[in-house]
């Protein structure tokens, strides 16, 4: 059966290994299946839920597009576009916002994390952000949404909104209820400094993540300094849950090599830490460095990137506009 794939990445800079292994690598694999229709969006309207510098935002939109392209998303096979160029997303978000319930949004853990202690000072946009995400997905009749583990709750909200709309307006199956596609293993890549914290764009320490734009020396240095414990490398996964930093590094090695955790454990049992770290850095350089070289090359040709976004956005608008028109008819406009 042909799948309609949709996903989005925020242009908030510092795209990292977690974004790649948790989401973007999967985007590329899904595109390889010929029957899939894939749409990948640079979700800049989501990025402005927190304060952005206009010049840096503009640069990050291009950089995120370059990451898509450099990772292997092919604009002749998939639609690559920019959310703010497609006004239907904002209109759809308003219409769906009248279906979503406050109680549902109040349960969103990402809002609680991002708003922090002073909720009163968070933007309204940050609070209603999951509704915009639902519009992104539902306007394209998306059947599958590849995301990292942290977006699971937002996907459930999207499903609730679709179901409620279909029920309230007695239009069964009008909005497609999408399935999340979350990697079974290694779906959460953790910080290199603290194995209990997610690898994140917004971590103040650059040492906590491998950026997709890092060069060889930066990768070697970050892996060398990555936090570990002083016990020997394990013979099985028995105590690995208690050794979160090592588990994360083993997870990264396994994920980037498309192999199981057990294979990695067997490969390194009895060896010393430096041997493992050297091999990990070497593998990361082999896989990430070609992407970073390509990103830097693409960023020199701003016109090319802008053209990709413009073409993709007009294709996306064609689809999204029709769905918004249908939604409006159903509502009674």
CB 228 within 8 A of CB 242: no
Residues in 145-174 at the binding interface with ligand TRP, rule: CB under 6 A: 145, 147, 151, 154
SS3 breakdown of the chain: % helix, strand, coil, rounded to 5? 60, 10, 35
Which residue is at the shortest CB distance from ligand TRP?
A: 8
Q: List the beta bridge partners of residue 39.
A: 6, 79
Binding ligand AMP (rule: CB under 6 A), the pick from 4, 5, 6, 10 is 10
DSSP string, 118-186: -GGGS-HHHHHHHHHHHHHHHTTT-SEEE--GGGHHHHHHHHHHHHHHHHHTT-TTSS--PEEE--SSS
Name the minimum Å distance from CB 11 to ligand TRP.
10
CB 294 within 8 A of CB 70: yes
Binding of ligand TRP by 7 (CB under 6 A): yes
198 is catalytic: yes
Q: List the beta bridge partners of residue 37.
A: 4
287 is catalytic: no
Binding of ligand AMP by 36 (CB under 6 A): no
Q: Which two tokens stand for residue 194?
A: 């603290």
Q: Distance between CA 163 and CA 186 in Å, rounded?
A: 30
Name the minimum Å distance from CB 164 to ligand TRP.
18
# chain residues binding ligand AMP, by CB under 6 A: 15
Which residue is at the shortest CB distance from ligand AMP?
A: 22
Binding of ligand AMP by 305 (CB under 6 A): no
Q: List the beta bridge partners of residue 82.
A: 42
152 is catalytic: no
Closest CB to ligand AMP among 198 and 323?
198
Strand 144-146 with 179-181, pairing:
parallel
**Residue 189 contact among ligand AMP, ligand TRP, none, beta carbon within 5 to 8 Å by kind:** ligand AMP
Q: Distance between CA 151 and CA 16 in Å, rounded?
A: 16
Q: Which residue has the tokens 């701003």?
A: 302
Site string for ligand AMP, 158-197 (x = CB under 6 A): ------------------------------xx--------
Q: Catalytic residues, which ones? A: 114, 198, 201
**What is the contact surface with ligand AMP in residues (CB under 6 A)?**
9-10, 18-19, 22-23, 147-148, 150-151, 188-189, 198-199, 201
**What is the contact surface with ligand TRP in residues (CB under 6 A)?**
6-8, 10, 43, 46, 133, 136-137, 145, 147, 151, 154
């Amino acid at each position: 059966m042909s799948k309609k794939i949709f996903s989005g990445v925020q242009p908030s800079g510092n795209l990292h290994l977690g974004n790649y292994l948790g989401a973007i690598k999967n985007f590329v694999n899904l595109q390889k299946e010929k029957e899939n229709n894939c749409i990948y969006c640079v979700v800049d309207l989501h990025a402005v839920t927190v304060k952005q510098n206009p010049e840096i935002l503009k640069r990050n939109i291009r950089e995120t597009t370059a990451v898509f392209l450099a990772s292997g998303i092919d604009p002749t096979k998939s639609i690559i576009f920019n959310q703010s160029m497609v006004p239907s997303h904002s209109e759809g978000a308003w219409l769906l916002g009248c279906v979503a319930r406050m109680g549902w949004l109040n349960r969103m853990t990402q809002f609680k994390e991002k708003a922090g202690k002073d909720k009163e000072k968070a933007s309204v946009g940050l609070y209603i952000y999951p509704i915009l995400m639902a519009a992104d997905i539902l306007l394209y009749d998306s059947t599958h949404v590849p995301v990292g583990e942290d977006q699971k709750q937002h996907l459930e909200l999207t499903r609730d909104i679709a179901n409620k709309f279909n029920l309230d307006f007695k239009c069964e199956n009008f909005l497609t209820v999408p399935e999340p596609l979350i990697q079974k293993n290694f779906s959460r890549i953790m910080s290199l400094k603290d194995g209990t914290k997610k690898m994140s764009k917004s971590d103040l320490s650059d040492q906590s993540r491998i950026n997709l734009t890092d060069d060889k020396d930066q990768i070697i240095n970050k892996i060398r300094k990555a936090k570990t414990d002083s016990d020997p490398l394990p013979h099985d996964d028995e105590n690995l849950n208690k050794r979160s930093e090592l588990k994360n590094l083993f997870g990264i090695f396994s994920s980037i090599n498309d192999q199981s955790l057990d294979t990695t454990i067997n490969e390194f049992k009895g060896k010393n830490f430096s041997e493992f770290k050297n091999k990990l850095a070497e593998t990361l350089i082999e896989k990430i460095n070609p992407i970073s070289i390509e990103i830097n090359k693409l960023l020199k040709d701003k016109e090319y990137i802008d053209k990709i976004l413009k073409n993709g956005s007009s294709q996306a608008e064609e689809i999204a506009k029709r769905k918004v028109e249908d939604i409006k008819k159903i509502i009674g406009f």
